[in-house]
Structure 1
Amino acid sequence: MNTATKKVDVLISGGGPVGLFFALRMAAMNHSFRVIEKREGATKETRAIGFTSRTLEVLQNRKLASYIAKDAMTVQGYKMFSNGKDFAPLDMMNTDTSFPYISALPQTFTEKTFADLLGKDKVTWNTELVADGTHSAVRKLGDNWTYEGYSVGTSFAVGDAILEGKDADKVSPSRINGFLHTDGVFGVIPVEVTKDGEYWYRIFTNIDSYEVTNGKKSTHGLDLRAGTLTREHVQEIFTSKGAPLDIKIKEDRQLAIFRINERKANGFRQNRAFLVGDAAHYHSPFGGQGLNLGLQDADNLSWKLSLVLNDSVTNPEMLLESYNLEREPIDAATMEATGFATKSLIKTNFMYSIFVNLAFPVALSMDRVTKNFIDHLSQIAQRIPKESPLLFETTDATKNSGLIEPGENIRGTVPLRKRFINNDNDFKRVTLHQLLQNQISQYTIMWVSGCSNSSPLNPLAQEFWNKFNEIYGNPTTITPSSPTAIKPMIVESPHHAWQNKLPAYVTPMDKHKDAPAAIVIVRPNRFVAYSTLVNSTSDIDTAFEFMGKYLTAK
């Protein structure tokens, strides 16, 4: 027997989409890893299907979005029905993101895509370790790790269907379709198109009334003990909730009973063990947030762990603990929102249901409400909690500058007006997202300046560049395996920094001959860590002092 032990940087328990994505992040950053998965291979079930705008931005930043997009359905918004009539269609195409839609793809394709990108022999199948998704044993091994919450006693029907009937064409293959009813909602989401041009839809509905149970045992997921769910039963529910429309289920697959729990671990880290995705939290699938939170968990942890493994940080404990401090509040807020949505849309108290069915259409007819609704479902409104130790603590002066604030996500939908000069001296117009795109754990410190009225070059820009070289070395030496974890960038544009805008110029221009500049420090996941206007060398020093709190110098 071969008893040789192979050491790796990271052991990943669970070969679902989140575990495989984390493995891809480790591979991109040159870290050794091993993935352990108890299944024989990628799932053959549809399962989690939706990639939000924010998650697609994450994948694009890691050069992975195209692999998902090429096989996915593009869902451009929402279409809601009540009493057979659609109302207040919600369009995502005007959302301020490079991906103003949801990409719908069966989980089997996602897992196979990620596994293929990893390559052969990177996942050890048919092997169970100690943690895997919603029933993670890692939590059970520690006395201090609990997984509290509640179970929704309601039974849900889930599966895939091809539709037919006189009114089947009212169901949009480019929208999430929802049928509101006093007995609960019936959801129909496009997931796949056949060679014959027919559409498979993910269907989801409650079978009975809303009920909460407070047992400690997790019941989340497919209920294999509940018996067989028949097409006839699902059709009966669809006919009732979709009335008076004539829509029939022509074909079905993977019909099953599903249970929902709203539970979260009391912390996502203990020493060298980290919980990510379903091992850390699971909740109602209403809103399609679960897979996305897991992938964003993995992305948040990956670059922090990489910096620590590369010995590129002065305070490893602060960086690793920030994973829990940043992700737990975001995940908890999402759980609260999805739990409320579940209760609101399926509670069958007659008067309550009547109110929801009347109020919902009215609310969604208001532009302000729909924008807020779309921004949150697409997750582009997401920001890092201000309690994170990795964010610069803003002051009133900073807030009044009009700059993007620490904790906010850099938007990059509009090309920069000025030229971008690459190593070939070519001139291009690019977005901030393209400039910031990287697969490694690298911060970017951006100098954003206007054109000087008195000289061709703002002398502070040269001071900034010299300061960077003094502390972190020549930027051309930075590689994935380099201990230097920050790169410099100078963006020169008359009045553009964020979304082509560098606000609050009037007052500084009155005081200084040179147009003001700004320093914006962007984390590897494109969230802002630091931002300030620069009027003197002391402002430059303050920015580098902030980075010195946890990133090592040369």
Structure 2
Amino acid sequence: MDDAAIIGGGPVGLGLAVLLAQQGWTVRVFERRHGISGHSRAIGLHPPAQQVLARAGLAAQLAEQGTAIRRGLGISNGRQIAALDFASLPGPYPYVLALPEHQTVALLRERLRALDPLALSEGREFQGIEGQSAEAIRFTVAGPGGLQATEASWLIGADGVQSAVRAELGVAFHGRGLPDRYLMGDFPETTVWPHSAALFIEAQGIVESFPLPHGLRRWVARLGHGQPPDADLPELIRERTGYRVDAEACTMRSCFSTANRRAASMMQGRAVLLGDAAHQISPIGGQGMCLGLIGAARLADLLASGAVPGGGQLLQFQARQLKAARQAGLKAHLNMALGRPVAPWLLPARNLLFSAAASNRTVHDAVARSFTMT
């Protein structure tokens, strides 16, 4: 019997597996897919997430492969109206690290393989829970050989927004979808800001831009009402920002909607929900994956210290994690609201508000800490 069985081999599930394996636990990660998708929506590792991954033994690899985003710029009508400098952040990581999710997953897989070559089981899909006892939880997974019955001391559902574990537990997922839709793509760098994020605050809606490793840059544009998901992203970028990107050189393109939801409960006996299975945060602001990694570190410490099902430590963990998810959701909602289209005559007033906030040191530092989860 394994100490922990983790359903879902994304960054959060793998991060938890590595942290537990480092403490001598036997872990098994069941991932329904084979290989790693090159399609990365999440790219930002905030300072607390970098600390978690450093605990997992990946500090050197992150520094080598990632791109540090050291400031954010607010731009409107071709003019800089605000700047957010992360140099004042406390701790060893005064920046957000840009690293596509598939690279983070690859690093975590390699680290887990070094700890236990048999820990990751690909092509295995969670089917259902057979029962629980005081010491173990029994469940089944489907794979090439058919159904496999197994058991572990703990079952962790880190299997995303459409969590099969959450559905099996019958846990409600409260919240709602939001009207904001975005189109994004990765293109060769054409700006002069290799270590800066840029927010183009325009009347037609915001365009966000982030540096990536390997000389790439991600562009994210809010779609207006009625704009289709197959809209011409390079043309949209040019119209709103004046920057030109090479459509033929696009390495990733995606349209996504937004939502904020939280599970009514994160645990049921020896089954625990983690990451997007427990809370869905709008990608705007980039805090969803980081919140999941922070939760993985907290859960690893509690389990390794002997936490028991229904005990006070796990109840406190649940309350803290869901509160953090609620706060992250509110921040994301505010970020989206500030980036929605406005009447052209209102744009100067909104720009003035951004400029005033950025020029006030107290407000500037508070916004920097809020944005980076520090």
Pick the aligned partner of 1:307 from 295, 305, 308. Answer: 305
Match of 1:297 in 2: 295
What are the superposed Cα offsets for residues 66-109 of structure 1, whole Å, 9 maximum, x if unpaired? 22222100111112211111233221122221110111111111
AA paired with 1:79? L
* Mapping of residues 88-487 of structure 1, within 5 Å: 88-119=82-113, 120-130=117-127, 132-143=159-170, 145-164=171-190, 168-169=191-192, 172-193=193-214, 199-209=215-225, 229=230, 233-242=232-241, 245-249=242-246, 251-308=249-306, 317-348=311-342, 355-380=349-374
Q: Following the alignment from structure 1 to structure 2, what is the Cα–Cα distance between the partners of residues 252 and 301?
A: 38
Matches of 2:324 and 2:343, distance apart in 1? 31
Query: Match of 1:257, as an amino acid?
Result: C
Task: Compute the displacement of 1:204 (Å).
Answer: 0.9
Instruction: Say if 1:189 and 1:203, in contact at 8 Å, map to a contact too.
Output: yes
**TM-score, normalization by structure 2:** 0.85
Q: Give the residue type in structure 1 aligned to 2:179.
A: G
Shift of 1:345: 1.2
* Conserved? CA contact 2:210–2:218, under 8 Å: yes
For the residue of structure 2 that corresponds to 1:45, the secondary structure is: coil
Question: How big is each residue's C-alpha offset from its partner over 1:282-308, in whole Å with a ceiling of 9 and x where there is no partner?
Answer: 122222111100100101111101111
Q: How many angstroms apart in 2 are the aligned matches of 1:257 and 1:146?
A: 27
42, 57, 65: which one pairs with 2:51? Answer: 57
Indicate the residue corresponding to 1:510 in structure 2. none
Partner of 2:141: none
Contact 1:347 1:353 in 2 (8 A): no
CA displacement at 1:364 relative to structure 2: 1.3
**Considering only aligned residues, what root-mean-square deviation do their CA atoms show, in Å?**
2.2
What is the rounded CA distance, in whole Å, between the counterparts of 2:180 and 2:28 in structure 1? 38
Preserved contact between residue 183 and residue 209 of structure 1 (Cα < 8 Å): no
* 1:336-368 CA-partner distances (Å, limit 9, x unpaired): 111121122124455665543331222112111
- The DSSP-based 3-state class of the residue aligned with 1:359 is helix
Q: Distance in 2 between matches of 1:338 and 1:362?
A: 21
Using the TM superposition, give the Cα deviation of residue 14 of structure 1 relative to its aligned residue in structure 2, in angstroms: 0.3
Distance in structure 2 (CA, Å) of the matches to 1:68 and 1:292: 15
Task: Please say if residues 57 and 111 of structure 2, whose CA atoms lie closer than 8 Å, have aligned partners that are also in contact.
Answer: no
Q: Is the 8 A contact 1:93 1:100 kept in 2?
A: yes
For structure 2, the 5+ residue unaligned runs are: 128-156
Deviation at 1:153?
3.0
Q: Secondary structure at the match of 1:364?
A: helix
Q: Distance in 2 between matches of 1:273 and 1:346?
A: 39
Quick one: distance in 1 between partners of 2:42 and 2:351?
27
Q: Which amino acid aligns with 1:64?
A: L
Q: Are residues 359 and 318 of structure 1, via their aligned partners in 2, closer, same or farther at CA, if it must alter by over 3 Å?
A: same
Percent of residue pairs bearing the same amino acid type: 25
Contact 1:163 1:247 in 2 (8 A): no
* 1:12-65 CA distance string (max 9 Å, x none): 000001110000011101111110111111221222111111222233344432
Deviates more, 1:246-255 or 1:112-121: 246-255
Distance 2:92 2:197 in 1: 20
153-162 or 9-18: which moved more? 153-162
Give the equivalent residue in structure 2 for 1:546: none
Which ranges of structure 1 fall in alignment gaps of 5 or more residues? 1-6, 194-198, 211-225, 381-554
Match of 2:87, SS state, is coil
Confirm or deny: 8 A CA contact 1:183 1:353 kept in the other structure. Answer: no
Q: Is the 8 Å Cα contact of residues 269 and 310 (structure 2) preserved in structure 1?
A: no
Checking the alignment, whether the CA contact within 8 Å between 2:19 and 2:55 is kept in structure 1 is no
Q: Do 1:161 and 1:200's aligned partners in 2 also have CA atoms closer than 8 Å?
A: yes
Question: Which residue identity is paired with 1:331?
Answer: A
Aligned partner of 1:456 in structure 2 is: none
Aligned to 1:16: 10
Between structures 1 and 2, the one with greater strand share: 2
1:155: Cα distance to partner? Answer: 2.7
Paired residue secondary structure (2:305): helix
* Equivalent position amino acid for 1:295 in 2: L
Structure-1 separation of matches of 2:85 and 2:59: 22
